[in-house]
Structure 1
Amino acid sequence: MIGARIVQKVSSTRGFAKVAPHVIPALDRAVHRITRGKYLLSAQMLPGVVLTSTGARSGLSRRTPLACMPEDEGRSWILIGSNFGRDGHPAWTANLLAHPKASVSWKGQDIEVTAALLTGQERAAVWKTALAFWPPYATYQARVEREIRLFRITRR
């Protein structure tokens, strides 16, 4: 798909990494609200959820639109803490480490989930799948010194 390759190429640039974190989540939140949770603008390229987690430090509820890799026919999802290839782990990953019980909005349905950080061989296998799913993740990883966090969130 030519369109997908162009989007992947653009999303791998440093310019995209500077702009996208400020624009894409705001647009996704607006579309999600307007459509009563049925759609995310970014889901036109990648499946997405809106994660509601508890702030690691604040204890406040945080809503974050995220790309995801659905598994097991929507019973679990992989969340990838790429942060668009920027330094530092995204805040939502710290939230899930501190408070693994969360919820996601998936295709208009709110679902209670529990998050688990993937490590070792399990992480390696999922990372390989993630690279096939969205090749720009390789560029994001090469750009940063940290290991990109992968979480599996599963229905409670």
Structure 2
Amino acid sequence: MRGLITGFGKSTAFAAIGRALVPADRVLLRVTGGRVGIGAAVGLRTLLLTTVGRTSGEPRQVPLLYVERGGGFVVIGSNWGGEKHPAWSANLLAHPDATVERGGRTTAVRGRLLEGTERQEMWDAVAAYWPAYDRYAVRAAHREIRVFLLEPQ
């Protein structure tokens, strides 16, 4: 199933469907403490990131694919290859302290924007897991997609 989803994940149709499913995924992950989500149903690792809104100061939640590295979580601000950076990435830049819910556990994390060689290494790791990120980068060619390491506190 994951192989089929991985191939479909590169399409603009998948991006549209994915955007539409984010609210339902967020609810599922919140209610189950990060145990069950739409991504997990098709074999994808998903976490629920809670940031602080940069202007509102209110908690904001978003489900994200991730890869574990060095005890932390690497996440990509692709916005499905859209024109703008996703709001959660701007929130994380403004307020790096956040939480991650996955597998029934909540972990306090600090987000760090990756740059240079470290960014490329982590991009390659996540794109190996979800190859659609390379397609998203082509669609978002006018901006460099943000890559974050969420480090447990």
Aligned: 1:153 with 2:150: yes
| Aligned pairs (5 A) from 1:62-101 | 62-72=60-70, 75-101=71-97
Q: How does 1:112-131 map to 2 (within 5 A)?
A: 112-131=108-127
User: Is the aligned partner of 1:21 residue 2:23?
Assistant: no
Residue 127 of structure 1 and its aligned partner are, at CA, apart by 1.3
Instruction: Report matched runs for 1:100-115 at 5 Å.
Output: 100-115=96-111
Cα distance in 2, alignment partners of residues 110 and 18 from structure 1: 29
Per-residue deviation, 1:114:
0.3
Shift of 1:36: 4.1
Structure 1 residues 28-37 or 104-113, which shifts more?
Answer: 28-37
Partner of 2:38: 41
Count of paired positions: 151
Identity, in percent, stands at 36
Q: Which runs of 5+ in 1 are unaligned?
A: none
Normalising by structure 2, report the TM-score.
0.91
Aligned position for 2:129 = 133
Q: Any idea what SS the aligned residue of 1:110 has?
A: strand
Residue 53 of structure 2 corresponds to residue 55 of structure 1: yes
Contact kept? 1:43, 1:67, Cα under 8 Å: no
SS of the residue 2:40 aligns to: helix
Structure 2 unaligned spans of 5+: none
CA RMSD of aligned residues (A): 1.4
| Contact preservation (8 Å) 1:131, 1:138 | yes
Matched to 1:112, the amino acid is A
8 Å contact from structure 1 (residues 47, 70) kept in 2: no
